Structure 1
């Protein structure tokens, strides 16, 4: 019952016609979807499912069993029948905010080379990244560095490597709290900057913008101490 995850190859696809393969009170499983399932600190997508004679609001997509993506419906809503053809449409404004935020967190990693992230949370309004960093620079320093990287409009792309290649280059993993998913035999890398000299390169299954210029203005709201060495960096995207 594996769901084809179309967002892994094209984060800008907003809708798709799909077939219902399972449906119950927990949610709806489609044969393919544009809805990102919650993982790695990024929330699952929301949106709508429409079919002949019905419509339902998806409150969040989550991971189900055996590679399935579960579209959790709003309480009391209609459930499409198994076998029905549905039009699955994202809440694009929310998804695009997540894409901009997620790419910004990768840029934060790039300005702290050799420092591991210990936790993260992506949100449409505010996001945060935790680092093993006892003596961080001031929040203004981070805001300035991020502004420079956004203004440079670096391309954002992806490539795939084998699990064995990642094992041979463990330094690619920048997060201690989230490890790349294994078992499929390959790992997706997100690259910011040119292939020959990337600004950032690390395993990631989330959705991202196609260039840093698309992020827009970033502000580091505050730095927070979360232990002897752990520092939490809060970011917002002012309109």
Structure 2
């Protein structure tokens, strides 16, 4: 999926009250710590707000603000770009922070949640040294300022699993699909990832640490925001 595509046309193939499945979609469903897209459908000039998007089995469920859509309807989908782009910047920033902390401290991710204004990442760090974390974030900002390309592509699962640190999750929860989508920032990070990202690190802005928390044994949490 091209994260920069904002509009598309599709046909409705399933309807359950105000829940709709399309034959194709650009809406990102909630998953992997990234919130869902929002936006709207337009059918013959009539507008339906898309307020939630989630996966269910093999379907992507679009929840709209009211009933009225029917199987066979053709809709024009429009993504809320401001929301999408904020999350793209946050997501790519989180990859860079995670890569630097993994490289410097050997830590893996135990949890994360992206937000529009503030995000958090949890790491399995044995020792909690604020100076070390802040130095890692400063290194991440230096990387961002280099204006590096962010690439995405697919690899066969067996080939992808041969890449060191292809997942920086402590639980190693990779999809069981034959093809894995890879997001790579050359020389910095390479991970299996299905979310939306910017094309160049210069789009991210500057990472600002908001708060550091000790969440128990070997679990440290970083809250951060972005400045343009």
When normalised by structure 2's length, the TM-score is 0.92
Q: CA deviation at 1:134?
A: 2.1
2:61 to 65, 70, 95: 70
Q: Partners in 1 of 2:161 and 2:139 — Cα distance? A: 31
Check if 1:45 corresponds to 2:37.
Answer: yes
Change (3 A) 1:97 1:177: farther
The farther-off stretch of 52-61 and 149-158 is 52-61
1:97 to 83, 86, 97: 86
The farther-off stretch of 28-37 and 157-166 is 157-166
When normalised by structure 1's length, the TM-score is 0.88
Q: Partners in 2 of 1:206 and 1:21 — Cα distance? A: 24
For 1:60-115, what per-residue CA distance to the aligned partner results, in whole angstroms no more than 9, with x for missing partners? 2110222x2111112xx243111111011011100100000000010011212232
Backbone CA RMSD of aligned residues? 1.6
Q: CA deviation at 1:177?
A: 4.5
Q: Partners in 1 of 2:145 and 2:164 — Cα distance? A: 30
Q: Give the SS at the match of 1:172.
A: coil
1:19 to 7, 11, 18: 11
1:158 to 152, 167, 173: 152
2:170 aligned residue: 176
8 Å Cα contact 1:142-1:220 kept in structure 2: no
8 Å Cα contact 2:134-2:209 kept in structure 1: yes
Q: Partners in 1 of 2:128 and 2:68 — Cα distance? A: 50
Give the 5 Å matches for 1:51-200.
51-52=43-44, 54-66=46-58, 68-74=59-65, 77-112=66-101, 113=103, 114-138=106-130, 139-169=133-163, 171-177=165-171, 179-183=173-177, 185-193=178-186, 198-200=187-189
Check if 1:236 corresponds to 2:225.
Answer: yes
